[in-house]
Amino acid sequence: MQRYQSYILGEWVDGEGVETKLYNAITGEQFGETSSAGFDYAAILEYGRRTGGTQLRKMTFQERGRMLKALALHLMSLKKKYYEVSAWSGATKVDSWIDIEGGIGNLFANASLRRQFPDLPYYVDGTMAPLSKEGTFIGHHIMTPKQGVAVHINAFNFPIWGMLEKIAVNLMAGVPAVVKPSEYTCYLTEVMVRDIIASGILPEGSLQLICGLGRGIIDHVDLEDTVTFTGSAHTGKDLKGLPHITERSVAFNLEADSLNASVLGEKATPDTEEFALFVKEVTKEITVKAGQKCTAVRRIIVPENLLEDVQAAISKRLSTTIIGDPSQEGVRMGALATRTQVDRVRESVELLAKSQEMVFGDLDNFEVVGADKDKGAFFSPILFRNSDPFNKVDVHNVEAFGPVSTIMPYKNLDEAVELARMGKGSLVSSIVTPDDKEARDYVVGAASMHGRILVLNKDCAKESTGHGSPMPLLTHGGPGRAGGGEEMGGKRGILHYLQRTAIQGHPTTITEITQQFQVGAAMPEANPHVFRKHFEELVVGETVYTHKHTVTESDIVNFANVSGDNFYAHMDETSLDGTIFEGRVAHGYFLLSKAAGLFVDPKKGPVLLNYGIDEARFTKPVYPGATIGVRFTVKEKIDQEKRSEDDIAKGIVKFLVDIYDETGETCGMATILTMVRKIDQSS
């Protein structure tokens, strides 16, 4: 009998006795067991904080991002073994792909976010706030990694995705994790974590695993820790309400199963492509993962005149769904994860059947291919019909967490919105319609009660990821019944694990802290010219003070001829009455072009190329006769990894271009982006 272990305090260990027996969802045979009884959770959490957290916090965002990318590539090379183990949970190949490669995709997506962060262990948030008349006292915000640990309590349905989508975020932020997967499917998580630990890619202590019930895992969380829970709303709310959680203000993110709705628009009649798309999407959400998804469609909301058409079309597609052992040819829906889930879903179906009509499926009489229905955790797809959803409201309160959904009618779009909102908070809703105005009206009306809304039509269908697929760069979570939490969300998700702190001081001091030049800070003159320095040699704040140039009417005319920009303010002095201009004004882009001519050192050197301009602003008119100069300042440096052994070692440098006139007043500003060679070509 295989014993599935936990990885804690730097080693693989067994808990005491047997807490959970593990069964193959297809055959019903026991293949393993696990336990976490007797673990010292206070020591486990402290080990994460001290051993893993200390190392992660020393790494920059760039280093953490490269670490995640390396881990993703490593796990992708081993994915075949995960598919083999995933099949024990009743998953088809498609089900496993969502869990395994979808989870690894989260690592890749979060690794790519390093480009949105500085080459620092902490993040500089927003822009400087001026706090004094003379500019000698300013404010800013930085966000530093919380010096705690992330405790992730995950659901049974996604043993890999559930882990990777969460740790990708906290590791990117510089926070270690303790992962507690569901005891029923922890065997798949354990197989992957063994590979993660063996790879040595993550610093020791940054990932610990609890296989088993995990009783006591949050008893010792403290104020800088974060708890995330995915599962039933009842259990999640009980945990979130524990006295020490509230007393210590422990961050608690709850993501609960919800009664998600998909709406067929009134314009999506049976002769449209959208009607067929709706039927296909809803049927997929009933059968993929055997309906065991927190995002699955539980309520199917359709125009009342199309109720019969939709019911017939969905029933027809469901009738072709072959249930059984996913290794058998033609099987499209596997089993629920455990026999326990079968009992729970059956209870919910029997409760729903008291207030609505079952129009497809049978709890007892259905065929299973390649397996014994009575030994495995199989369940028939069930479609209910509720003709009076405003009065028969069990459908808005009871969720059967399996291949179960209810179709219901609406009279107009306002009713559709109201029905969707009766779920009291959902992770996701969708509307399928060829009419963009109809889509807009639904989204605006329903958005406040949903974490995500998919708008599907024939134009996006080919590339749409579907109703049930949360994406790493978008928020996953929802209000009300869905838990009120947020996961993923790209950069937003990472910021959840950082503490925002306001900092105040002189611009020079704030420049040193943020490693971003702040206006008003000291600007020591660069010697030699900054274009003669390698990436490592450049210092934030050092400045080139250029020669000056007096603008002439010829400059304006010549630039108009070259650019083709003959806007009246530049070329027709007789048209300026009633404008803000006192005379012909120089083109803003001429000023920027001339600034480049002033600040560029033309000889070959470490600067490889200028590749962009950000935040360009023209703040004061420049007339013929004005004399301009440029203060060219190192604003920020961002390290960049080599893409291959033959690649040039380089970094990104942002330069502040401050164009000023003879009065010393700024008349234009921009940020120039450059690639600069490193001295050390091995890094």
Establish if 499 belongs to a structural domain: no
Q: How much is the pLDDT for 122?
A: 94
Same domain, 444 and 307: yes
Q: Report the CATH number that the domain containing residue 568 is assigned in CATH.
A: 3.10.129.10
Mean pLDDT value of segment 181-185: 93
Contacts of 219 (CB under 8 A, 6+ apart): 41, 42, 244
Q: How much is the pLDDT for 170?
A: 95
**Cα distances (Å, whole numbers) of residue 81 to 76, 78, 163, 201:** 10, 6, 17, 19
Domain that holds residue 37: 2-257
Q: Report the CATH number that the domain containing residue 211 is assigned in CATH.
A: 3.40.605.10
Domain boundary residue, one of 226, 257, 288: 257
Q: Identify whether 528 is preceded by a cis peptide bond (ω within 30 of 0).
A: yes
Establish if 629 belongs to a structural domain: yes
Establish if 518 belongs to a structural domain: no
In this structure, which amino acid lies at residue 240? K
Contact call for residues 657 and 517 (beta carbons, < 8 A): no
Domain boundary residue, one of 470, 486, 513: 470
Tokens of 275: 């009607």
Domain boundary residue, one of 238, 257, 276: 257
Q: Report the CATH number that the domain containing residue 440 is assigned in CATH.
A: 3.40.309.10
How does pLDDT run across 604-638, given as a tens digit for each residue? Answer: 889 999 888 998 999 999 999 999 999 999 999 98
Among candidates 637, 622, 629, 636, which has minimal Cα distance to 658? 629
Establish if 529 belongs to a structural domain: yes
Assess whether pLDDT exceeds 80 at residue 30: yes
Establish if 497 belongs to a structural domain: no
Same domain, 145 and 216: yes
Same domain, 78 and 38: yes
Among candidates 212, 220, 210, which has minimal Cα distance to 179? 210
How does pLDDT run across 399-411, given as a tens digit for each residue? Answer: 999 999 999 999 9
Contacts of 128 (CB under 8 A, 6+ apart): 138, 139, 140, 507, 510, 518, 519
Same domain, 227 and 276: no
Same domain, 353 and 227: no
Q: What is the 3-state secondary structure (H, E, C) of 165-216?
A: HHHHHHHHHCCCEEEECCCCCHHHHHHHHHHHHHHCCCCCCCEEECCCCCCC
* 294 classed as catalytic: yes
Assess whether pLDDT exceeds 80 at residue 233: no
**Cα distances (Å, whole numbers) of residue 107 to 36, 563, 648:** 27, 45, 26
pLDDT band for 683, please (50, 70, 90 cuts). low
How does pLDDT run across 187-206, given as a tens digit for each residue? Answer: 999 999 999 999 999 999 99
| β-bridge pairing 666-677 and 607-618 | antiparallel
Mean pLDDT of the chain: 92
Assess whether pLDDT exceeds 90 at residue 13: yes
Q: How much is the pLDDT for 302?
A: 97
Same domain, 130 and 91: yes
* 615 classed as catalytic: no
How does pLDDT run across 498-525, given as a tens digit for each residue? Answer: 999 999 999 999 999 999 999 999 999 9
Among candidates 516, 553, 494, which has minimal Cα distance to 637? 516
Establish if 479 belongs to a structural domain: no
User: What SS3 state is found at 568?
Assistant: helix
Same domain, 252 and 276: no
How does pLDDT run across 96-128, given as a tens digit for each residue? Answer: 988 999 999 999 999 999 988 988 999 999 999
Same domain, 309 and 360: yes
Establish if 477 belongs to a structural domain: no
Same domain, 627 and 647: yes
Domain count, the chain: 3
Establish if 490 belongs to a structural domain: no
Selected catalytic residue, list 281, 294, 399, 667: 294
Tokens of 220: 């010792």
Same domain, 527 and 449: no
How does pLDDT run across 238-274, given as a tens digit for each residue? Answer: 888 888 888 898 888 888 888 999 999 999 999 999 9
Same domain, 54 and 186: yes
Selected catalytic residue, list 33, 183, 190, 255: 255
Same domain, 272 and 343: yes
Please tell me what DSSP assigns to residue 525: B
Q: How much is the pLDDT for 102?
A: 92
Q: Work out the angle at residue 638's Cα, subtended by the Cα atoms of residues 632 and 644, and round it to the nearest 5 degrees.
A: 125
